[in-house]
Amino acid sequence: MMSAEQRAQGRRVRERLLDLMFVRGRIEDVRPAPGRMRWIRVGGVPGLDWTPGQQVRVHVADITSARTWVSGAVRNALRTYSVWEYDASAGVLELCVMDHGEGGPGARWARAARPGQEVVFGRPEGAFGLRPGAAFHLFAGEETASVPFGAMLRATPPDAAVHGVIEVSGPADRLPLPRAGELTWRHRGGASAASSATLVAAVRDLDLPAEPGIAYVAGEARTVQAVSAHLVGDRGWPRGSVLVKPFWTPGKRGME
């Protein structure tokens, strides 16, 4: 039988291990975002090394709870979310999560998120980010892609040329993106964002400079592939000028 002191010591060791391996913050605020999205503001996480476009891997189940391990939920407990905004000195990071109809562990976590709750996540990661010096920046994606696009557009120098298409279900689903007036918005109505012909057609219709820029293409995996195939195959862009980031696809649980 463990004494109270031994249990407390065990807890302190677990907490130290968690702090070594992960970042731990606390939800400060949960606000409705346009459409079916939700902003989740996490405080107490100063000094992270983050560049706009990067994401964090969130433990959407409580990994400190024995039940998470015993039930096996731990195997499906990580979901990746782009960072909408991060203030390193205030230690505040904001995510924006889609409440998609199928309701996996990520969507359920975001739905249940409440101020005061602890959030455990990995340090910011990923190579999806602005390539400075590009002739122009081209953004293409749907609602979930507009989360990293928000951070990236905020970081784009004012004199850098920006083009792009954001596909959303309807006008109420538009995130407040910086430089929104320079982007083309497309509404797909009730159609699925998976294998979306709407987004590819809208990118095809863009009047782009003759020379390639850098493209940032994110969202549903098959749509992302189709946009990339158009840029490389039809417009002759070098493959290396098209950065793709599949976020989700029908039938697949978590993409990373």
Ligand X SMILES: Cc1cc2nc3c(=O)[nH]c(=O)nc-3n(C[C@H](O)[C@H](O)[C@H](O)COP(=O)(O)OP(=O)(O)OC[C@H]3O[C@@H](n4cnc5c(N)ncnc54)[C@H](O)[C@@H]3O)c2cc1C
Find tokens 């390639």 and name the residue: 212
- Beta-carbon neighbour count of residue 55 at 10 Å? 23
Residue 67 is a binding residue for ligand X (CB under 6 A):
no
CB 40 within 8 A of CB 110: yes
Residue 253 contacts ligand X per CB under 6 A: yes
Selected from 50, 53, 55, 61, the binder of ligand X by CB under 6 A is: 55
How far from 97 is each of 13, 100, 129, 132, 244, CA to CA, in Å?
A: 32, 9, 19, 28, 20
Q: Does 228 bind ligand X (CB under 6 A)?
A: no
Token duo for residue 117? 């709750």
Between residues 77 and 231, which has the closer beta carbon with respect to ligand X? 77
Q: Identify which of residues 26 and 222 has a Cβ nearer to ligand X in the complex.
A: 222
User: By CB under 6 A, what part of segment 165-224 binds ligand X?
Assistant: 193
Site string for ligand X, 113-142 (x = CB under 6 A): -------------x----------------
Contact present, 64 and 90 (Cβ < 8 Å) = no
Nearer to ligand X, 78 or 212 (CB): 78
Helix axes 221-229, 197-205, angle to 10 degrees: 30
Determine if 97 is a binding residue for ligand X (CB under 6 A). Answer: yes
Chain residues in the site for ligand X (CB under 6 A): 55, 79-82, 96-98, 100, 102, 104-107, 126, 144, 147, 193, 245, 247-248, 250-256
